[in-house]
Structure 1
Amino acid sequence: MKRKCDAIQLSLFDNDYRDKTDNQLISELTNKVDMVSDMWEGDYRLEKLFNCLTPQRRRIASAAIELYKRKEVKKKGAIIIRSSADIYNIMRPVLDDLLNEEFWIIALNLSSRVIMQKRISIGGIDQTCADVRLIMRVLIEAGATQFVAVHNHPSGNQKPSNADRKLTEQLKKAADIFNIRMMDHVIITNQGYYSFCDEGLL
């Protein structure tokens, strides 16, 4: 474990970033995180790596990981969603290993092609808030005709809470008003996922 932490630290922190422009920093950090991303998989979670870092390096690593996830989201802009498994495969790299809940939407066109992915909110360990009106506005501005709601459960529990069920109902009703189809609401955990559509709840 220590050897792997040392290797990742060396890969991420072997340069002085103070004189870099924003674009240079984004490019360099995302490329570095891309290079070491294979080291993340398998035998430990990201928080274990963070425990090996100094506070300053922890902040840099957090920023690099966030930039990497944004880069991965942008890569998937041309993907067509056909199933809950597609949603899981798109969003797991974004939501995996997070310590807090995050709520995202994926906007789709008539062909079920992804036209936008956007984080709506960040919550606590076991809940997050999502503003239905804000979500509708984002979808309308994106020109979406369909959408998917996605959030994670850091606890690993795939079962939706009562709040999850209520929010799904509210989103479905609001979307129907604007003639936008709610394709699915997927809960992602490190053990798998739960699909409201697959369970016949949409």
Structure 2
Amino acid sequence: MKYQIIIDREAKEDLRIGHPRQVYKVIEKYIDTSKNNYFILILDGASFLKKIHILDGRKPIPELINKIFKEAISINASSIVTAYSSNLRNLKATDEDVKRIHELIESGKLLRINVLDHLIVSISGYYSFADNNLAGLSKDEVWPYKPV
């Protein structure tokens, strides 16, 4: 099974995602410093990457949540990891970030799609919500990502 990158390109090998460092390595080359993007990594039940989808990060949150789960449902995802690219150097989560990701997690629960982590990324690195126990995500429960 191969995974698809940004809808139209396939990778040459399977990739099992087990740590935020891997998530960052996968999306690092797609980080555009001139704009903010939202990345969705769609995983199967064994945490193998099925697809990466990139959305415009300037869209309203409800619209982003709808698009995220529409994409995940369309390929029968078991879980997702999301990331937001910031053109700022500050990789810390704000209270608003935590609130939005908590809403995303709750929406996923209704659809039975686990949100494993959310990362804030830039060219200088990443900040993992699960690593920092934010928005109800806990590294003890997710790292390495557990097969569903």
Q: Same fold (TM over 0.5)?
A: yes
- Go from structure 1 to structure 2 and tell me whether the alpha carbon gap of 1:147 and 1:77 turns closer, same or farther (over 3 Å shift): farther
Structure number having the greater strand percentage:
2
Q: Greater relative contact order (Cα 8 A, min sep 6): structure 1 or 2?
A: 2
- Go from structure 1 to structure 2 and tell me whether the alpha carbon gap of 1:76 and 1:104 turns closer, same or farther (over 3 Å shift): farther
Structure 1 residue 138 and structure 2 residue 74: aligned?
no
Contact 1:153 1:189 in 2 (8 A): yes
Q: Structure 2: where are the runs of 5+ without partners?
A: 138-148
Structure 1 residue 198 and structure 2 residue 134: aligned?
no
Tell me the TM-score normalised to structure 1 length. Answer: 0.58
Structure 1 residue 80 and structure 2 residue 80: aligned?
no
Q: Structure 1: where are the runs of 5+ without partners?
A: 1-68
The structure that has the greater radius of gyration is 1
- Go from structure 1 to structure 2 and tell me whether the alpha carbon gap of 1:179 and 1:170 turns closer, same or farther (over 3 Å shift): same
Matches of 2:74 and 2:100 in 1, distance apart?
21
How many pairs are equivalent? 129
SS at match of 1:107: strand
Once the two structures are superposed, what CA deviation does each residue of 1:129-179 show, in whole Å capped at 9, x if it has no partner?
442122111111111001001111111110123332122011100000111
Structure 1 residue 116 and structure 2 residue 51: aligned?
yes
Matches of 2:110 and 2:132 in 1, distance apart?
24
Structure number having the greater helix percentage:
1
Matches of 2:65 and 2:12 in 1, distance apart?
25
Contact 1:77 1:116 in 2 (8 A): no
Matches of 2:13 and 2:65 in 1, distance apart?
23
Structure 1 residue 159 and structure 2 residue 86: aligned?
no
Map of 1:22-171 to 2, 5 A cutoff? 74-75=10-11, 78-95=14-31, 97-123=32-58, 129-130=60-61, 131-171=64-104
Contact 1:103 1:152 in 2 (8 A): yes
Aligned twin of 1:50: none
Matches of 1:191 and 1:136 in 2, distance apart?
28
- Go from structure 1 to structure 2 and tell me whether the alpha carbon gap of 1:179 and 1:76 turns closer, same or farther (over 3 Å shift): farther
Matches of 2:46 and 2:12 in 1, distance apart?
15
Structure 1 residue 180: deviation in Å?
Answer: 0.9
| RMSD (Å), alpha carbons | 2.3
SS at match of 2:47: coil
Structure 1 residue 76: deviation in Å?
Answer: 7.1
Tell me the TM-score normalised to structure 2 length. Answer: 0.78
Structure 1 stretches of 4+ with a deviation exceeding 4 A read none
Give the percent of matched residue pairs that are identical in Structure 1 and Structure 2: 22
